[in-house]
Amino acid sequence: MRSTKETTREKNPSPGALSEKSRESVGKLLTRPNKPRSRGTKNNDNNIQQYDLSSEVGNGSKVNGIQDVDSRVKSVTLEAGGCSTDAARDTLREEKVDGGTLQDPLSDSREEMNDSDWEDGSIPNSDFTGNQQVTIEFDETPDPVKRKPVHQATAEDKELAEIVHKVHLLCLLGRGRLIDRACDDPLTQAALLSLLPRHLLNISQMTKLTAKNLHPLIHWFQDNFHVRSSTDEKRSIHSNLAFALETHEGTSEEIAALSVALFRALGLITRFVSILDVASLKPDGDKSAYFSQDAGGFIFCTSTPMVAKKNEASSSPSKSFSPNEKDSACETSHRSSCKRSNAESKDSASANESSNKQPCPLVFELKHDSSGACHTQISQGPKRKGDIEFSLQMEMAISATAAVIANIADGKMGSSMGNPNSNLPNFISPFKRMKKVLSEGSSSSHGISTAIGSRRVGSPLYWAEVYCSGENLTGKWVHVDAVNAIIDEEEKVEALAAACKRSLRYVVAFAGNGAKDVTRRYCMKWYKIASKRVNSIWWDSVLAPLKEIESRATNGMFHLENDNIDASFKHDNPKHIAENLKAENFPNNATLLGSSGLEVSKVCGVKTDMGSSLTAASRSSLEDMELETRALTEPLPTNQQAYRTHQLYAIEKWLNKYQILHPRGPILGFCAGHAVYPRTCVQTLKTKERWLREGLQVKASELPVKELKRSGKLQKLKSFEDDESVGDNSEGTLKLYGKWQLEPLQLPHAVNGIVPKNERGQVDVWSEKCLPPGTAHLRLPRVFSVAKRLEIDYAPAMVGFEYKNGQSYPVFEGIVVCAEFKDVILEAYREEQERREAEEKKRNEMQAISRWYQLLSSIVTQQRLKNRYGKGVLSHTSSDEPTVDNNLSLKVSGSQDDKQSLEFRKGNKHKNKPNPPSRSPSAELEEDHKHLFLTEDQSFDDETLILTKRCHCGFSVQVEEL
DNA sequence: TTGAGTGATAATTCTTTGCGTAAA
DNA sequence: GTTTACGCTTTGAATTATCACTCA
């Protein structure tokens, strides 16, 4: 609480007022607003809050500490609410008297206390006693418009959000692939074909398919299949598709999938396309969309779904986790009312049924009655501002769309004659309908955009892409939204999604179990979504294998002539199955498609390979080119802010201080009077020193293109240095140069084995380019000692800086020497290293021997003690010892020094004689036994020069002969 | 409704060239 | 006595990014 002034004032000081706990609690309470960092705190709270801690409260500490705190919390709340101090005190008194009334607030407060982290607080006045009044005065006057407390996301929040985003993306990718695979189901395809009227089967015979040819098919499909909210039953995708096929109703996802299956059954090269409506990349990024109503404390009861429940309320792919989610506007409303009341939830079932036939909120006009039923549902229960607003807007939208329908019926909307759909008098795409509705009037348009948009429903989420070889010269992927009966209107998808407040961040096309990002095709304003997408390197790496599969699959999906059809394939093809199902003759000369391109290739074998791969490469690369072209020819944004981080364009206004336009042109256009330049004209400037690090130096004749004023701190430092030295204070500016003013770094050569050094006697090795010619950088520890020993000139290599204690210290790594000495030094270093290692090894061995000796000595001592003092015990336990007693073999090896030291410890002064057996374990076992090392029992190893002496008791000693 | 402008805050960038002490 | 390795102690100003809010 930076902008607040805390004062504590004594009031009625009486002994034994507040307990220690109370004091702490008040301190905590005072410090608590600091806990969540909030912006605009100064406007957040009331101007003056008084904490009146009455004697009753003080006495209350006898009950328990928590009650005290709770009471004070309540007191604060009351004060904040404008109640008088006395009133608050009265309330507190009542609470104290009536234990029952205290219970509820208590439990709430207690929960709150448990959930929050309390900080230790301190009360400035050390004489703080119970009957005191704590007054917090805020400097600022109360703001009539309260600023919302804003919690700025921390780095941790952002990281978490990114992880969630990525995981969600992967899940949705998986979901898309599942749906795509389900679309290849021969049985589903066959069933769809069996339903198709004969005249529509001709489409499969067209060699040059165009988007126009698809209209009758889409029309038939839309007439026969409707979107509805799914049941709560959780079934597999295949079962859901089968059910949708049977009932001719399904979720938008299922209907879109069926359309894809139908197209594939007809032999059309088709992809299943989905908007991956993932959780936001930024923390609370979806808040604006989901927390549209400022519900305050009722935020968890709001009818607007929250992020975590996102998939419940929208028809987004996120519902993929539970495919049976409901996705119509009415359903959403119903669901929201369900949240408010369980009873309502049961009642609304019927309303849900009635609203089941809502294909899309954009075609509400067709289902006016059911919408009304839905609205009735909404109107029930405790209404809040958002619900009422939604209801009103829905009503307006419905009435407006009904008017449009009436107009259509009356033939007033004859404009459809001029559009590509003119051959379909009854066909009006929902987008057009919406456009018409929007043009009807401000009220109705507002109703549509806000009511539907705020609920994020009606957005196109799934559609198909059909490859039309007759489009353009090279063929084209045509957008076909069978759910909303929209064909070849890819440029409108973004607007349609935006109208439903759904951002078009990822659009992915699935085919043959692969996937390809086709967002560029549908997104006209890339700059708006670029920052909302995950790191492109990660995304590309995820998609790379899928893209390859998809490419192979769609390239494999080509028309097969009759004579190519293998008999075995014929058995599997959906048409064949359809023949059985339909009992009608299917045109034999129609083209076919297998369950996937890959499978077709497999089945059809060699015949298809050559031609398809050629087509494939070109088709895939052509599409890549198309998407790339779109990326490079994005229209100029109309708002200035977009140019700050735009990948293609820039305006001078938004360049940072280290950037400049060079060359200044060409001017691509203007935005609010500012010239727009290509981003490629933006050059980064650096100081001479910085360029030096990259192995570049400024040309002799070049002047700085920009001069920046040095920062205050640096300037102060600089001026201090200048005063001490030369007194030249000309370095008040930072001189910046562009890349075009540079040339490769030319450092002085190493001459006569002397390394050219800087003024500090070292070489700054930012990179290999910074090394003076004729020198080499040896990044080895302690290599300088070698160079020093060999008396070779060298310079410490400074490779960077590290920060410690607020200061920067240079980091050195190895040395820089003349190249001709490199090998000599390395050789010497290697020898030095070997010597060092040998010493290390020797030291380790010595240590090991010493420890072994200590161990054996301790065992021997233990054994001797046992023999002497615990014979009874020994007789019982001696069987445990034989491995130690009889098999011990002390090997003495190593250098003479080692041996000497060992022997010294053993107390043996005779180097060439074996150890006296008195300390050996077996000797200790048999007190009277003396080891006898007979010559015939000795063995000598010529290689190791070790003589092994053995006693008949089993004891042996190895001795190195000198 | 959209976008420019502004203010507040968090995050990031930039700065830049030991010293004392203990162990070897 | 000399050399070498290691830890000290958590900078701070400037800039940029982001967000919320107001206003046109």
User: What is the CA A315 to C1' C19 distance in angstroms?
Assistant: 29
pLDDT of residue A189: 93
Q: Which of residues 75-134 of A touch strand B (CB under 7 A)?
A: none
SS (H, E, C) A934-959: CHHHCEEECCCCEEEEEECCCCEEEE
Highest mean pLDDT among A295-304, A507-516, A704-713, A830-839: A507-516
A708 touches strand C (CB under 7 A): yes
User: What is the CA A760 to C1' B17 distance in angstroms?
Assistant: 8
CB A640 within 8 A of CB A671: yes
User: What is the CA A176 to C1' B11 distance in angstroms?
Assistant: 36
pLDDT of residue A229: 67
pLDDT of residue A655: 84
* Look-up of token digits 């608590």: A32
pLDDT of residue A696: 87
Spatial separation of the C-alpha atoms in residues A350 and A302, rounded to whole Å:
23
Question: At residue A695, does pLDDT exceed 80?
Answer: yes
A152 touches strand B (CB under 7 A): yes
A39 touches strand B (CB under 7 A): yes
User: What is the CA A589 to C1' C16 distance in angstroms?
Assistant: 65
pLDDT of residue A260: 94
pLDDT of residue A731: 52
Question: At residue A861, does pLDDT exceed 90?
Answer: yes
Nucleotides of strand C within 7 Å of the protein's CB atoms: 3-5, 8-22
Nucleotides of strand B within 7 Å of the protein's CB atoms: 1-5, 8-12, 15-18
β A132-138/A4-10 pair status = antiparallel
Q: Among residues of chain A, what percentage have pLDDT more than 70?
A: 49
Highest mean pLDDT among A508-517, A760-769, A919-928: A508-517
Spatial separation of the C-alpha atoms in residues A362 and A400, rounded to whole Å:
11
A810 touches strand B (CB under 7 A): yes
pLDDT band with cut points at 50, 70 and 90 for residue A177: very high
Considering only A455-464, A806-815, A838-847, which range has the smallest mean pLDDT? A455-464
Question: At residue A781, does pLDDT exceed 80?
Answer: yes
pLDDT of residue A192: 92
A713 touches strand B (CB under 7 A): no
pLDDT of residue A201: 86
Take residue A373 and report the two structure tokens written for it. Answer: 């039923």
User: What is the CA A814 to C1' C4 distance in angstroms?
Assistant: 14
Domain regions of chain A by residue span: 4-151, 171-276+462-635, 640-684, 688-744, 747-878, 881-962
User: What is the CA A836 to C1' C20 distance in angstroms?
Assistant: 65
A155 touches strand C (CB under 7 A): no
A587 touches strand B (CB under 7 A): no
Q: How far is CA A174 from CA A170, A235, A543, A748, A806, in A?
A: 6, 17, 12, 60, 49
Phi, psi of A700 (to 5 degrees): -60, -40
Question: At residue A863, does pLDDT exceed 60?
Answer: yes
What residue is closest to B4 (Cα–C1')?
A640
Question: At residue A143, does pLDDT exceed 50?
Answer: no
pLDDT of residue A400: 41
Q: Which residue has the higher pLDDT, A27 or A291?
A: A27
pLDDT of residue A713: 53
User: What is the CA A639 to C1' B1 distance in angstroms?
Assistant: 14
Beta strands across the sheet bearing A132-138? A4-10, A132-138, A48-53
User: What is the CA A528 to C1' B3 distance in angstroms?
Assistant: 14
Q: Which nucleotide is nearest to A145 (CA to C1')?
A: C21
Q: What is the mean pLDDT of residues A776-793?
A: 87
What residue is closest to C16 (Cα–C1')?
A656
Query: CATH topology for A747-878?
Result: Alpha-Beta Plaits (3.30.70)
pLDDT of residue A656: 81
Q: Among residues of chain A, what percentage have pLDDT more than 90?
A: 11
β A956-960/A889-891 pair status = parallel
Strand partners, A467: A477
Looking at residue A895, its amino acid is S
Question: At residue A10, does pLDDT exceed 70?
Answer: no
User: What is the CA A39 to C1' B9 distance in angstroms?
Assistant: 7
Question: At residue A732, does pLDDT exceed 70?
Answer: no
Spatial separation of the C-alpha atoms in residues A219 and A212, rounded to whole Å:
12
Q: What is the mean pLDDT of residues A631-647?
A: 80
Torsion of CA A60, A64, A68, A74, to 10 degrees: -110
CB A484 within 8 A of CB A431: yes
Q: What is the mean pLDDT of residues A405-410?
A: 42
Nearest Cα neighbor of A274 from A517, A554, A446, A87 is A517
Q: What is the mean pLDDT of residues A706-726?
A: 56
CB A772 within 8 A of CB A763: yes
pLDDT band with cut points at 50, 70 and 90 for residue A712: low
Nearest Cα neighbor of A648 from A661, A662, A637 is A637
Q: Which nucleotide is nearest to A149 (CA to C1')?
A: C20
Q: What is the mean pLDDT of residues A945-959?
A: 79
pLDDT band with cut points at 50, 70 and 90 for residue A384: very low
CB A511 within 8 A of CB A557: yes
Q: What is the mean pLDDT of residues A858-864?
A: 92
Q: Tell me the pLDDT tens digit for each residue of A196-218.
A: 988 888 887 778 888 888 999 99
Highest mean pLDDT among A1-10, A461-470, A586-595, A596-605: A461-470
Q: How far is CA A589 from CA A266, A427, A565, A585, A601, in A?
A: 12, 30, 10, 11, 19
Reported in sequence order, the residue ranges of A152-293 that DSSP labels E, i.e. its strands, are 226-227, 249-250, 270-275
Which residues are within 8 A (CB) of A863 and not within 5 positions of it... i.e. 6 or more apart?
A: A881, A884, A885, A921, A924, A925
pLDDT band with cut points at 50, 70 and 90 for residue A162: confident
pLDDT of residue A666: 86
pLDDT of residue A597: 35
- Report the sign of the C-alpha dihedral through residues A632, A634, A640, A645, in that order: negative
Which residues are within 8 A (CB) of A618 and not within 5 positions of it... i.e. 6 or more apart?
A: A474
Which residues are within 8 A (CB) of A360 and not within 5 positions of it... i.e. 6 or more apart?
A: A227, A252, A328, A430, A458, A483, A484
A43 touches strand B (CB under 7 A): no
Considering only A560-574, A583-597, A674-688, which range has the smallest mean pLDDT? A583-597
Spatial separation of the C-alpha atoms in residues A226 and A261, rounded to whole Å:
16
A852 touches strand B (CB under 7 A): no
Take residue A667 and report the two structure tokens written for it. Answer: 């001017």
Q: Which residue has the higher pLDDT, A632 or A448?
A: A632
Q: Which of residues 671-700 of A touch strand B (CB under 7 A)?
A: 671-672, 687, 689-690
CB A616 within 8 A of CB A551: yes
Spatial separation of the C-alpha atoms in residues A356 and A717, rounded to whole Å:
75
CB A319 within 8 A of CB A312: yes
- What CATH number belongs to A171-276+462-635? 3.10.620.30
pLDDT of residue A364: 33
Highest mean pLDDT among A552-561, A598-607, A682-691: A682-691
What residue is closest to C7 (Cα–C1')?
A804
pLDDT of residue A326: 35
pLDDT band with cut points at 50, 70 and 90 for residue A659: confident
Q: What is the mean pLDDT of residues A948-961?
A: 76
User: What is the CA A278 to C1' B14 distance in angstroms?
Assistant: 36
Question: At residue A368, does pLDDT exceed 80?
Answer: no
CB A745 within 8 A of CB A697: yes
Spatial separation of the C-alpha atoms in residues A318 and A339, rounded to whole Å:
20
- Give ∠ CA A368-A371-A377 in degrees, rounded to 5: 150
Q: Which residue has the higher pLDDT, A670 or A185?
A: A185
Q: Which residue has the higher pLDDT, A104 or A935?
A: A935
SS (H, E, C) A27-79: HHHHHHHHCCCEECHHHCCCCEEEEEECHHHHHHCCCCHHHHHHHHHHHHHHH
DSSP-based helix, strand, coil % in chain A, nearest 5 = 50, 15, 35
Average model confidence (pLDDT) across chain A: 63
Question: At residue A844, does pLDDT exceed 50?
Answer: yes
pLDDT of residue A405: 41
Nearest Cα neighbor of A284 from A416, A392, A471, A154 is A154
Q: Which residue has the higher pLDDT, A909 or A875?
A: A875
Spatial separation of the C-alpha atoms in residues A375 and A392, rounded to whole Å:
9
Considering only A8-22, A227-241, A251-265, A577-591, which range has the smallest mean pLDDT? A8-22
Considering only A180-189, A311-320, A541-550, A817-826, which range has the smallest mean pLDDT? A311-320
Q: Tell me the pLDDT tens digit for each residue of A47-92.
A: 333 333 333 333 333 333 333 333 333 333 333 333 333 333 333 3
Strand partners, A818: A775
pLDDT band with cut points at 50, 70 and 90 for residue A789: confident
A39 touches strand C (CB under 7 A): yes
Q: Which nucleotide is nearest to A714 (CA to C1')?
A: B15
SS (H, E, C) A472-503: CCCCEEEEEECCCCEECCHHHHHHHHHHCCCC
Spatial separation of the C-alpha atoms in residues A444 and A401, rounded to whole Å:
8
The neighbour count for residue A308, using CB atoms within 10 Å, is 10
Question: At residue A440, does pLDDT exceed 50?
Answer: no
Nearest Cα neighbor of A26 from A108, A131, A98, A104 is A131
Q: Tell me the pLDDT tens digit for each residue of A338-360.
A: 333 333 333 333 333 333 333 33
Which bin fits A895, alpha (ψ -120 to 50), beta or left (φ > 0)?
Answer: beta
Highest mean pLDDT among A686-695, A703-712, A738-747, A947-956: A738-747
Spatial separation of the C-alpha atoms in residues A939 and A916, rounded to whole Å:
19
Take residue A678 and report the two structure tokens written for it. Answer: 């290509």
A808 touches strand B (CB under 7 A): yes
Question: At residue A529, does pLDDT exceed 50?
Answer: yes
pLDDT of residue A419: 37
pLDDT of residue A944: 75
Q: Which residue has the higher pLDDT, A707 or A616?
A: A707
pLDDT of residue A174: 95
The helix/strand count (H/E) of chain A reads as 35, 30
User: What is the CA A811 to C1' B22 distance in angstroms?
Assistant: 22
pLDDT of residue A274: 92
User: What is the CA A762 to C1' B17 distance in angstroms?
Assistant: 10
